Amino acid sequence: MLPTIGHWIDGKRVEGGVCLQDVFDPATGKAEKRVFLADESTIGAAIASAQAAYPGWRAVSPARRARVMGRLKQLLEEHAEEICALVTAEHGKVASDAMGELQRGIENVEYASYAPELLKGQHSKDAGPAIDCWSEFQPLGVTAGITPFNFPVMVPLWMWPMALACGNTFVLKPSERDPSSALLVAQLAVEAGVPAGVLNVVNGDKEAVDALLADRRVQAVSFVGSTPVAEYVYAAGCASGKRVQALGGAKNHAVVMPDANVKTVVSSMIGAAFGSCGERCMAVPLIVAVGDDVAKAVIAGLKSGIARIKVGPGIDSGNDMGPLVSRQHLEKVKGYIDQGVAEGATLLVDGREIRVPGHDEGYFLGPSLFDDVKPEMKIYREEIFGPVLGVVRVKTLREAMDLIDRHEYGNGTCIFTRDGEAARYFSDNVLAGMVGINVPLPVPVAYHSFGGWKRSLFGDLHVYGPDAVRFYTRRKTITQRWPSAGADEKAVFSFPSGR
């Protein structure tokens, strides 16, 4: 009998739903737990709990909410190894990568602890004759988040800490593939002082997602995942009157100029393309080499670096890459490699050949490297979400930028160069939401905001940072005047002004 994973509703563990689904250890391919998938009634119970808790939580001062976030930060640090062990067991990523994920999440909790400063409004005394005017930021009510498998700790922490700091309550639906870490963090939130019902966690599949999107008690939804689902979430959420931010897929290009430091490029690309098995929306699956000489030098360095990458179970600290998250995803990524070969790209390193002793049933795939990738190829157009890196050859920076600008995704990009003029022109003009200059993964720190352009983002506001404050609040402007006692005032028929 496998242990079961329930939901977290109204401050306690709850079982029940449509069915139980296996949760696998990707390193062995064996089911280790079973998770309850929520039905509409389970989702309704979580929303009702959040709605009941909202008036009391909204009345808590921003300073007190901030102190709760401060305590949560401390608890996350104290339980870091336990949290990361769950991530490795269910997602498969190596321990150091899991720890890095958690740290970036903790940074967002820390930013949420600045709530009293972030929620300060604006005030204008004597905006008119004896009239004062000010604006303030008020919470929305019940909010929700739908998060992906690839960052089971970090992405939820992009969302609900700021939502709670702003005075909202929250219902989180993490990925059913690796749900345990989100539940543990929710329990730590209660220990930090989050009242019952303020944060709820429900596991589920599309039925759970649809229930959250349809319920009009939910005022706002945050989503991170693939572009087709992001577009669906955005359309369905908006149709039911919600505020929605939906972050989708990516195809991030790394432009390498002739003056770039090849050693820096190679080491950067090894990590950016193959870290976390490429299961990152900010992974770099494409190198755009400006000139054949650049391509040859970078490829030579990559082949040498790839040969040194150690692939194996995430629990072994000596490994650089763990397994992919599921057998289904493993076969999908292998299919992209097959397609790349069939379409005429040159496969220089074939990750399909890797074998991990003692883990024949694990979902392992080694790093793969293609040369001669063309824009019409499927491996160029689509997000692979695996350890597959392709090299595209162009002649000029303008040609490289045209490739990026024409792609349907505009999440992130980067350029490697020693030329400040080229870097400035690239960052000013390229059509992508996040740009790195000699930085392969330009993921903003917690006090900026994360989000792409084009079909990488549906909605007007990015996730976390300053945009999160705007997303999880609505502005109210108050204008007040206290007339003098006994004043004999006449009606004014003109539109009021500040004069």
364 Cβ neighbours under 8 A, 6+ residues apart: 27, 311, 312, 322, 323, 324, 330, 354, 355, 356
Distance CA 280, CA 182 (A): 18
**Closest to 296 measured CA to CA, from 266, 320, 319:** 266
Type of residue at 249? G
Token pair for 70: 């401060």
487 Cβ neighbours under 8 A, 6+ residues apart: none
Query: What letter does residue 416 receive in the DSSP assignment?
Result: E
Token pair for 484: 């003098």
Distance CA 490, CA 38 (A): 62
Type of residue at 316? D
DSSP 304-366: HHHHT--BS-TT-TT-SB---S-HHHHHHHHHHHHHHHHTT-EEEE-GGG---TT-TTS----
Phi, psi (degrees; rounded to nearest 5) at 369: -135, 125
Q: Could you tell me how many residues make up the chain?
A: 499
What is the sign of the dihedral through the CA atoms of 72, 76, 82 and 84?
positive
Mind telling me the catalytic residues?
281
* Type and span of the H or E element at 424: helix 420-429
* Type and span of the H or E element at 442: none
